[in-house]
Amino acid sequence: MGKFTEALKKAAEKRIERVEKKEEVKPYIIRTVADSKIDPHIVAYFDPSSPVAEQYRILRTNLLAMEKPHAPKVLAISSAIHGEGKTVTSINLAITYAQDLNKKSILLVDADLRKGTLSKALGLKPDKGFSDILSDGASPDDALLNIGIDNLHILPAGNRPHNPVELLSSQKARQILNEFRNKYDYVIFDCPPVIPVTDAGVLGPMCDGVIMVLQAGRTQRGVVVHAQDRLGAVRARVLGYVMTNIEYHIPEYIYRYL
């Protein structure tokens, strides 16, 4: 019995030793872009007290409340077709996460390696980005940017590759995604639309969930169902939908409160 107890004691000491020797997660080197020209549609940046910005805070609250205490940490933002507002939604949501008083670290990634518009919306002209990390071994330190918002880092799409699907489905992509997961509290991927290309279907299952963006009065129901079926076929988890381009009257008593 004494030998058994001694063996357990030694095993416990080894576990403690391994924990003590565990390396700390080293932060990336981030370049600050002071002269970025952000698109005026990014209301969370220009007018955080507006009713529209409040809707993004509601979305953030709903996401953080999902399956407590393990809310989705890595999110993919996509749409059924192009032009539905997924990039504007991604940026506004990322900024809203960064504005949380809990000071969580946020990474916003332009994962649309074909026609990414995130850099344009933020007024950036980056040399490298996500595609360069996946294809030529560039370091995140060479590509990550800060636009002057505390706790928010931006990873542009990078130079347009000839094989975006192969890059996103590579072991390197899984490796870098896990690295991002360990270094940031929340990661948001702005993905291509689901119907035209398969990119979102590749990246979606690697994330904790997918948020679909729909434009009111434009996206047909059948197209939305088809996009959802595609994501379901690859076992990507659709967390919900965000509808853009909605025009509605805000009652005066609500406006006064806001």
Cβ 147 vs Cβ 35: under 8 Å: no
Cα 235 to chain centroid, rounded: 18
52: its two tokens: 């529209």
Cα 181 to chain centroid, rounded: 11
The pLDDT value recorded for residue 58 is 94
Q: Read out DSSP for 46-104?
A: H-TTSHHHHHHHHHHHHHHTTTTT----EEEEEESSTTSSHHHHHHHHHHHHHTSTT--
Cβ 180 vs Cβ 157: under 8 Å: no
Q: Show pLDDT as tens, one digit a residue, over the chain (258 residues).
A: 555 456 545 555 555 554 444 456 677 777 666 556 888 889 999 999 898 899 999 999 999 998 766 789 999 999 999 999 999 999 999 999 999 988 899 999 999 999 999 999 999 989 899 999 999 888 999 999 999 899 999 999 999 999 999 999 999 999 999 999 999 999 999 999 999 999 999 999 999 999 999 998 888 889 999 999 999 999 999 999 999 887 655 555 544 544
Handedness of CA 72, 78, 84, 86 (dihedral sign): positive
What three-state secondary structure class fits 109?
A: strand
**Model-level pTM?**
0.84
Cβ 146 vs Cβ 138: under 8 Å: no
CA 150/CA 143 separation, integer angstroms? 18
H or E, element range at 221: helix 221-233
The pLDDT value recorded for residue 14 is 54
Cβ 109 vs Cβ 188: under 8 Å: yes
DSSP code of residue 144: -
Closest CA to 91 of 244, 255, 198: 244
Domains of the chain: 28-257 (3.40.50.300)
The pLDDT value recorded for residue 3 is 55
DSSP code of residue 150: T
Question: How many Cβ atoms sit within 10 Å of the Cβ of residue 16?
Answer: 10
Q: Tokens 């609500």 correspond to what residue?
A: 254
